[in-house]
Each structure stands twice: as structure tokens, then as C-alpha cells.
Amino acid sequence: MVTSSAPGKVYLFGEHAVVYGEPAVPCAIERRARVTATEREAGLRIHAEDLTLDGYTVEYTGTEGDHPDIDVSDSLVEAGIGYIQAAVEQARDAADRPDAGFEIVVESDIPLGAGLGSSAAVVVAAIDAATRELGVELTPEEIADRAYQVEYEVQDGQASRADTFCSAMGGAVRVEGDDCRRIEGVDTLPFVIGYDGGAGDTGKLVAGVRELRAEYNFAADTVTAIGDIVREGEAVLGTSDHEALGELMDFNHGLLSALGVSSRSLDAMVWAARDAGALGAKLTGAGGGGCIVALDDSDETLTALRYTPGCAHAFRAELATDGVVQE
């Protein structure tokens, strides 16, 4: 039996612009998915506990029409099973044990579908735990690559390397197309996260930005300006100047808002954080709903978010300097 854990993530800078080749900086957060893998004779048995699910157990035999008898939305469960099945396939492939059977237990404290990289964290931790259980140890880079293959497959080609790379490596990372690397020397970032309990439609939001960018030169310039913020932010990250980082986060949110991807609840949370004295605040991920990330060492932002109408859940999550680890 092996247990591994991997962190979720927020975008410190650069979502949406990254789609057009600009760099982005996702950061791993201390909210983790834990996966325990135990080898068994054959097949795959999955038990999952999640913040947003009551928990489910699925005996999966691979037979067509095999359907879990549980009381949560089918699409959520099917997605969850798809990720775990594909992660287990990667582990079987890495260990050259195509018939290895597994019992997989998933526990996650990353809200599902909130843009915090919960599926990537589960996949990364599952590949690590299952390969170790079969006696094979992959590097974090190898795990990141295999986890990306899983997301690519399960999400029908709609996957970026950001979530899986960030989760496997931990810390602050820089993503530009397929080029991903860790930004060294970043130890602490006092993140506070506000979650409105919903989620935007990533495909629609990305398409909206694409249309604006095609229609108006100033929208294209806005995307390029986000890239400039990322480049500036990378330089600041090395200096631990959190005030400057916060200012850049505020600027990044303004530009995302101009591109139409913020929402009333995201703006309300961003302003609540700023009014409470956060050094900066922005939406994180695709937008339209979901999460904001603020930078604040004190408890003020957390308290303010808890009293903000439209904020369903607020929590502190420091930068996770560890990526995937065996527990």
C-alpha cells in the first residue's frame, strides 16, 4: 500500500493569455489530493472522498455497461473514474505490468470543478502511488508528462500542461506552450482563496476572448499586456516583494475583466479582499465564476470574504513548495 499526495493550483498570472503563446505563472497551493494504491489480483476498485461529494465506491471490471450504483451526478463520477482509470493505465505502462489490479482510495480537499486543478492533483498522486506500489519510481517530470497524457485523453485534447506540471513539481512554475519549468527561489506566498461555489464554462470563455481578440486590436493588445504583466511578475517573484506582486495581480484582474471573463461574484470577492487590505486580488483560471486568489499575510481578507455575499467558501492556502510526495 502506497499513499501519495499532490497539490492543487491557482494562477498567479497569465490565464487566457497563455492560450495565445504568452507565458503564465500557476502556483501550487497547500490543498492536496491524497491517493492510496494497493495492488490486488485484478481489476480496479475505486473509493473516493471529496469535499464536494459524499463519497463513492466503484467496483470497475471493465465490462461494457458497467455502471456505478451511487447517488451523485453521473457526469462527475464518470469523469472521476475516467481520470483514475487512465492514471492507473499509465502506471501499468510505466511498470510494464498491463494486468496489474488495484484498489484506489482518493481523498481530496481541493474543491471540484473550481479551477483549482483538482483533477490534475488526483491524477498526479494516483500515477505516483500506483507506480510506487508496483516498485517503480518516476521523476516528478515523468509523472507530469504522464499526467498530461491522461488529461489530454480524458478531456478530448482540451488540456494544457499547466495544472499537471504545477501539481507534480510544486512551487511557482512558468508555462509557455509546451515549455514548462519551475521558478526557483519562491518560498512563501500568503494566498487566500474565495470560491463562489460555481464555475464558468471554460470553452465558452476562451471562445469569447478569441472573438474579442479577432475583432479588436485593443483586445489583442490586452492579451499581450497580460503577457507583459507575467514577465514583470516573474522578475518580481524572485525578490519576495509581495506588494509589487499584489499590484500586478490587481492589474491582471483588470485586464481579464476587460476581456469579459470576470463576473459579479468574482468582482465582489476581489473588491472585498482589496477593501480588507489584501496586497492584490484577481480571479484565477477561466473565470465566469469559481475562485479568486488574494495575497494577504493577515486574517483580514479571509474574514472579509467569509462575510461577502456570493462567497460560498473562503480559505487560506500557502504556496505548496512540495509537488507530488509519497506520504
Single out the segment in contact with ligand PMV by CB under 6 A; choices: 12-20, 131-139, 232-240, 245-253.
12-20
Distances (CA, A) of 190 to 97, 244, 285: 42, 14, 18
Question: Is 110 an interacting residue with respect to ligand PMV (CB under 6 A)?
Answer: no
Give least dist CB 152 to ligand PMV, A.
12
* C-alpha to C-alpha distance for 17 and 230, rounded to whole angstroms: 10
3-class SS string, 195-239: ECCCCCCHHHHHHHHHHHHHHCHHHHHHHHHHHHHHHHHHHHHCC
Single out the segment in contact with ligand PMV by CB under 6 A; choices: 16-24, 27-35, 133-141, 223-231.
16-24
> Are the C-beta atoms of 23 and 175 separated by less than 8 Å?
yes
Catalytic residue among 50, 109, 145, 163: 163
Count of residues near ligand PMV by CB under 6 A: 10
Restricted to residues 223-262, the positions that interact with ligand PMV (CB under 6 A) are: none
- Contacting ligand PMV (CB under 6 A), which of 90, 149, 202, 308? 202
Give 8 or 246: the residue with its C-beta nearer to ligand PMV.
8
Q: Taking the CA of residue 299 as centre, how many other CA atoms within 13 Å lie in the half-sphere pointing to its CB? A: 3
- Contacting ligand PMV (CB under 6 A), which of 18, 35, 77, 294? 18
* C-alpha to C-alpha distance for 167 and 285, rounded to whole angstroms: 15
Give 8 or 280: the residue with its C-beta nearer to ligand PMV.
8
> Are the C-beta atoms of 150 and 170 separated by less than 8 Å?
no
Restricted to residues 206-225, the positions that interact with ligand PMV (CB under 6 A) are: 206
Give 43 or 197: the residue with its C-beta nearer to ligand PMV.
197
CB burial of residue 97 (10 Å; 0-12, 13-18, 19+):
middle
Question: Is 15 an interacting residue with respect to ligand PMV (CB under 6 A)?
Answer: yes
Which set of grid coordinates corresponds to residue 105? 482510495
Question: Is 154 an interacting residue with respect to ligand PMV (CB under 6 A)?
Answer: no
CB burial of residue 187 (10 Å; 0-12, 13-18, 19+):
exposed
Active site residue 297: no
Give least dist CB 105 to ligand PMV, A.
25
Residue 151 has a CB neighbour count (10 Å cut-off) of 22
Question: Is 286 an interacting residue with respect to ligand PMV (CB under 6 A)?
Answer: yes
Site string for ligand PMV, 113-142 (x = CB under 6 A): --x---------------------------
Phi, psi of 91 (to 5 degrees): -65, -45
Strands annotated E in 197-311: 280-284, 291-295
* C-alpha to C-alpha distance for 269 and 286, rounded to whole angstroms: 16
Give 36 or 119: the residue with its C-beta nearer to ligand PMV.
119
Active site members: 163
Catalog residues that contact ligand PMV under the rule CB under 6 A: 15-16, 18-19, 115, 160, 202, 206, 285-286
